[in-house]
Amino acid sequence: MRIMGLDYGSRTVGVAVSDELLLTAQGVETVCRTQEDKLRQTLARIKTLCEEYEIKEIVLGFPKNMNNTIGDRAEKSLEFAEMLKKRTGLPVVMWDERLTTVEANRTLMETGVRREHRKEYVDQIAAVFILQGYLDRKHIKENGK
């Protein structure tokens, strides 16, 4: 069993999946859509990936404002979480994702990915950071370290 991490955006959803030991996160794909409110195919693709990777839990990035308040984007993420729960039947954990996209862009820049190609990977890398943060916290809680 694995855990899936998602970076939910207005037009894309970055997807990452843990290894079976729940130690590391790997980017899987970026699910794209043409309109923000057209989520049927996005949810269907995520459900397919959940089945393919034998996912037991989903971690969804929660884009709080820097002052810890919940804005419009965070409200949309909460709505998406409810849709995910209904569609997949899996628990969805909201995970603070502040600055993950900035960190993902920095990582892509440092590894030499050209600016015009970064858009292809940034959401997937952000999903990796979201999931890896969750896995690290889970490991610390379980092992007391």
Q: How does pLDDT run across 53-90, given as a tens digit for each residue?
A: 999 999 999 988 778 788 888 899 999 999 999 999 99
pLDDT of residue 43 exceeding 80, the answer is yes
DSSP string covering 120-140: HHHHHHHHHHHHHHHHHHHHH
Cα 137–Cα 14–Cα 133 angle in degrees, nearest 5: 10
User: Can you give the CATH number for the domain in which 137 is found?
Assistant: 3.30.420.140
Burial of 37 (0-12, 13-18, 19+ CB in 10 A): exposed
At 11, list the tokens.
Answer: 């037009």
pLDDT of residue 17 exceeding 90, the answer is yes
Q: Please give the Cα distance from 33 to 41 (Å, whole number).
A: 8
The residue whose two tokens read 């970064």 is 118
Domain count, the chain: 1
Domain carrying residue 107: 2-143
The alpha carbon torsion through 85, 36, 47, 69 (nearest 10 deg) reads -40
Q: Which of 88, 93, 97, 94 is nearest to 129 (CA)?
A: 97
